[in-house]
Chains A and B, each alone.
Chain A
């Protein structure tokens, strides 16, 4: 079965151009617009709404939905379907995201495009299923074992959830790597205005296919882009895909340091060397600021409100919002650290991104955590109070 991207049909399935929906729904719209044709999932709060809506809309849009027996299987199924030529996605939350980690590493190692949306909830363990959190920022980075690079994005609104879901598919196809969208229970369940982008307002990127004949094709040989072309199963290329360390032909090489080094460095470099083009941030700087707020995702909302309130009081404050989380926007954070003396970092965890922020700042500014856990967003006042205390 070959999926044909039929934009008219997809728009008909999505419905109204302007809708008042929750983030879990706009993620589904984004996936459909990006050309997702296979979804495998497992119910989990607060991500179940994505699966429910996918099960309803994806078949109408020409794709296939399946509920698997667990999140391990969901992740496996989307990787298998991706090799059969589909653009694939799964959605989950913390506990399920933990179960997916081994197969996410498999997707990194085998360079399989796929998208994972993690609607983060309060943990550890079962935690508070209905409460949002930013507890998986580091799990997204280092949840799977071994050296690897990953792409992760984090939206702060329902609209941006749609936009970044499309972006996640594009990045995953372009770099042949799993891409994680880190939303959370707050954004996932928040209802806001959402506008479907028009044709021409967004790009659709498809993975490159083989450009040489079957006997000349070397499945894991990359050109200067460092991203190999991907042959689809069934097209006669007899591709061998393994999570073992492999040479360019795909064959296992389990005890050569050189082969391992060459492969893993390329997997890291293909993302690392494109950090600049993958990085998305929102900057709002004022000349002469000595303080800044650096936030991402849901906690960027009260942070932006705090910035507005401070400015109303004629206080100068810089604001930086990270949209790309991994690879980490080192340069942008360093630039901010050069501008100000103190950077406040409100996170819905006890300190996760504060660590790479400190590393990137290299001591040029003082980094101060403003942690909050247990569900509700920070209030702008809470952030401003934290800033007053240290001021």
Chain B
């Protein structure tokens, strides 16, 4: 067989190449998200100069920070949205993007998440939900399903997880959706929607962590997770005509909410301009 010439990665100009390869584990979904995100940016033709990535602490924060080449603020654990709010107010023309994990945004930083959604700040927030604290080795997170064994729930998780997407929708976000790393094309469209929609946009991206979570719940490979996501999800358009019994334990993917409340920094600017007259 002839040796195939290795093709260069088509989107690598969006990455800080000198920092590759990534530190992500084998089978991790973060690479899929990075690829999908870069593809979304490419199709939207957004100049990375006009993007500010703001992240917290955890594996998924490493998706843009440091790998995606744009102005990047890798902040303290849980606080990315607070930092991003400061950036957005002083740079309303920028695409301010927050990418962080479930521990970061739904756990330690939950308060900032709901208040940013309430204010309807023009941020695009991508919550990478791997249902675990992966970087620290697999401790229970606010998104870990009930009963699951983790390193800190050796007898099973006694807590219910958040329905974080519904929660953010209820808090007032302009756009909320949920997808998984299996649904890469609809996910990409959803990322594009979040990037272009005025106001607070939020996409929960279910992803796999075979190393720190999967192997303790019987899913040792990325493929097993993808299969699970494929077989256990229902599109929100279908789900709305189904009874709760019919939906059962299935995960609802797709658009959760879309509305057109005026964006926070726009209101703020208009009010301030009024004062300056």
> At the interface with chain A, which of B174-182, B191-199, B235-243, B265-273?
B265-273
The answer, yes or no, to whether B90 is at the interface (CB within 8 Å) is yes
Closest to A243 in B: B76
Give 1 or 0 for each of A35-63: 1 = CB within 8 Å of chain B CB: 00110100000000000000000011010
- CB contact between B83 and one of A38, A76, A234, A252 (< 8 Å): that residue: A76
The answer, yes or no, to whether A143 is at the interface (CB within 8 Å) is no
The answer, yes or no, to whether A195 is at the interface (CB within 8 Å) is no
Q: How far, in Å, is A77 (CB) from chain B's closest CB?
A: 3
Complex interface residues of chain A between 130 and 187 (CB less than 8 A to chain B) = none
Query: Which residues on the B side are within 8 Å of A243 (C-beta)?
Result: 74-76
Contact A38 B272 (CB under 8 A): no
Contact A64 B72 (CB under 8 A): no
The answer, yes or no, to whether B105 is at the interface (CB within 8 Å) is no
Q: How many residues of A contact B (CB 8 A)?
A: 46
Closest to B111 in A: A69
Closest to A231 in B: B71
Contact A77 B82 (CB under 8 A): yes
Q: How many residues of B contact A (CB 8 A)?
A: 40
Contact A59 B271 (CB under 8 A): yes
- CB contact between B276 and one of A1, A60, A242 (< 8 Å): that residue: A60
Highest count of chain A CB atoms <10 Å: which of B50, B71, B72, B271? B71
Closest to A80 in B: B86
The answer, yes or no, to whether B234 is at the interface (CB within 8 Å) is no
> At the interface with chain B, which of A82-90, A287-295, A361-369?
A82-90
- CB contact between A80 and one of B65, B73, B92, B268 (< 8 Å): that residue: B73
Contact B19 A251 (CB under 8 A): yes
Instruction: Give me the 9 closest cross-chain CB pairs, A-B, nearest first.
Output: A80-B86, A76-B82, A77-B86, A84-B90, A81-B86, A73-B82, A80-B83, A242-B74, A59-B272
Contact B82 A241 (CB under 8 A): no
Query: Which residues on the A side are within 8 Å of B86 (C-beta)?
Result: 38, 40, 76-82, 84, 88
Complex interface residues of chain B between 52 and 100 (CB less than 8 A to chain A) = 52, 54, 65-66, 69-76, 79, 82-87, 89-94
B residues contacting A by CB (< 8 A) are 16, 18-19, 48-50, 52, 54, 65-66, 69-76, 79, 82-87, 89-94, 111-112, 115, 268-269, 271-272, 275-276
Complex interface residues of chain A between 60 and 116 (CB less than 8 A to chain B) = 60, 62, 64, 66, 68-70, 72-86, 88, 102-103, 106
CA–CA, A238 to B19, complex, Å?
A: 14
Query: Which residues on the A side are within 8 Å of B90 (C-beta)?
Result: 1, 3, 37-38, 64, 80-81, 84-86
Highest count of chain B CB atoms <10 Å: which of A64, A77, A103, A106? A77
CA–CA, A88 to B85, complex, Å?
A: 13
Highest count of chain B CB atoms <10 Å: which of A3, A60, A74, A84? A84
Closest to A69 in B: B115
Query: Which residues on the B side are within 8 Å of A218 (C-beta)?
Result: none
Contact A83 B73 (CB under 8 A): yes
The answer, yes or no, to whether A237 is at the interface (CB within 8 Å) is yes
Contact A244 B74 (CB under 8 A): yes
Query: Which residues on the A side are within 8 Å of B93 (C-beta)?
Result: 1, 234
- CB contact between A70 and one of B19, B66, B111 (< 8 Å): that residue: B111
Interface of chain B: mostly helix, strand, loop or mixed: helix
Query: Which residues on the B side are within 8 Å of A40 (C-beta)?
Result: 86
Closest to B277 in A: A60
CA–CA, A296 to B85, complex, Å?
A: 37
User: 8 more A-B contacts (CB under 8 A) besides A77-B85, A233-B91, A251-B18?
Assistant: A68-B82, A76-B75, A76-B83, A81-B87, A84-B86, A234-B71, A237-B71, A238-B49
Contact B111 A66 (CB under 8 A): no
Q: How far, in Å, is B57 (CB) from chain A's closest CB?
A: 8
Would A1 and B92 be within 8 Å (CB), given that A70-B111, A234-B50, A243-B74 are in contact? yes
Contact B76 A106 (CB under 8 A): yes
**What are 27 residue pairs bridging A and B, where the CB atoms are less than 8 Å apart in the complex?**
A1-B92, A3-B90, A37-B90, A64-B89, A69-B112, A69-B115, A72-B82, A73-B82, A75-B82, A76-B85, A78-B86, A79-B75, A80-B87, A80-B90, A81-B89, A82-B86, A84-B86, A84-B87, A84-B94, A85-B90, A86-B90, A103-B76, A234-B93, A238-B49, A240-B72, A243-B75, A251-B66
Query: Which residues on the B side are within 8 Å of A78 (C-beta)?
Result: 86
Query: Which residues on the A side are within 8 Å of B19 (C-beta)?
Result: 251
Query: Which residues on the A side are within 8 Å of B74 (C-beta)?
Result: 240-244
Q: How far, in Å, is B53 (CB) from chain A's closest CB?
A: 9
- CB contact between B89 and one of A66, A76, A251 (< 8 Å): that residue: A66
Query: Which residues on the A side are within 8 Å of B52 (C-beta)?
Result: 84, 233-234
Q: How far, in Å, is A176 (CB) from chain B's closest CB?
A: 15
Highest count of chain B CB atoms <10 Å: which of A74, A78, A106? A106
Query: Which residues on the A side are within 8 Å of B83 (C-beta)?
Result: 76-77, 79-80
